[in-house]
Amino acid sequence: MVFGLRTVRGTLAPVLVLAGVLAGCTAAPDGDAKASRTADASGKARAATAPSGGAIGAAGSACELPVTFDVAKDWKPKAVDSTPASKGASGSDDDLASDIADAILHQGPVTAACEIDAKPAGNIGFLRVWTGSPGNADARSVLRAFVAAEDNTSDEHYRTVKAGALSGVEVEYVYTSKLLDEKKKERALAVSTPDGPVVLHLGGMDTAEHEAMLPAYELAKRTLRRA
């Protein structure tokens, strides 16, 4: 999904026109968002990271989260309101839209908390942050449940990673859209915190957009800290 999570509340129309939005969206990359390549101490090339546009996660930031991390320059973060919508009359369009919105806002054991829009930087997609309740679930279990809840996924590759100051689990996989009959790459990272698990997910309109946005994901991953 490439449309904003916040758009699904209160009306059914954005859900019904999703196919048209996905088919018609194109954008050219912004020159200022080009990735910079760095090298580690051993001289081996590291994955590209985008220039930072500031951090989110701390109290008073655009999204208050159990973690903090840097957002790529020109990407726009916004908190997601995951409060359950009030129900209308039984069988009404508002009631149906509310059910769809609530389903979109929850994926497996986590709930949408923040979406960071790439469009101002010239790409079509979001880096989304999902959070869960405190408990004993480890990051790998949370991530597996998150991917399983997305449906239509394949070729999952999990690995333990260092995410900034935290240890986490990362997955790369392929998502198949039944709506568009297309496959695209996606990626997600899960970490555990005392305040509950956190999942960072990078999708994109298609695989080309996904790969173009990877430097922003890598920036978030490398600067991840507990809030």
Closest of 69, 78, 148, 142 to residue 110, by C-alpha:
142
Instruction: Tell me what pLDDT residue 215 has.
Output: 98
**In the beta sheet, which residues pair with residue 167?**
162
pTM for the complete prediction? 0.78
> Could you tell me which residue, 97 or 175, shows the higher pLDDT?
175
Instruction: Tell me what pLDDT residue 66 has.
Output: 98
> Would you say residue 114 has pLDDT above 60?
yes
d(CA 108, CA 62): 24
> DSSP assignment, residue 30?
P
**What's the mean pLDDT in 3-13?**
43
pLDDT digits (tens, 9 = 90+) for 68-94: 999 999 999 999 998 766 555 555 556
Q: Out of 27-31, 71-75, 119-123, 186-190, which region has the weakest mean confidence (pLDDT)?
A: 27-31
Confidence of residue 47 (pLDDT cuts 50, 70, 90): confident
d(CA 15, CA 179): 12
pLDDT digits (tens, 9 = 90+) for 127-155: 999 999 999 889 999 999 999 999 899 99
d(CA 132, CA 117): 22
Residues 6+ apart with CB under 8 A from 142: 108, 109, 110, 132, 190, 192, 197, 199
Domain ranges of the chain: 41-83+107-226
Percent of the chain with pLDDT over 70: 73
Q: What does CATH list as the number for 41-83+107-226?
A: 3.40.1000.10
pLDDT digits (tens, 9 = 90+) for 166-212: 999 999 999 998 887 899 999 999 999 999 999 999 999 999 999 99
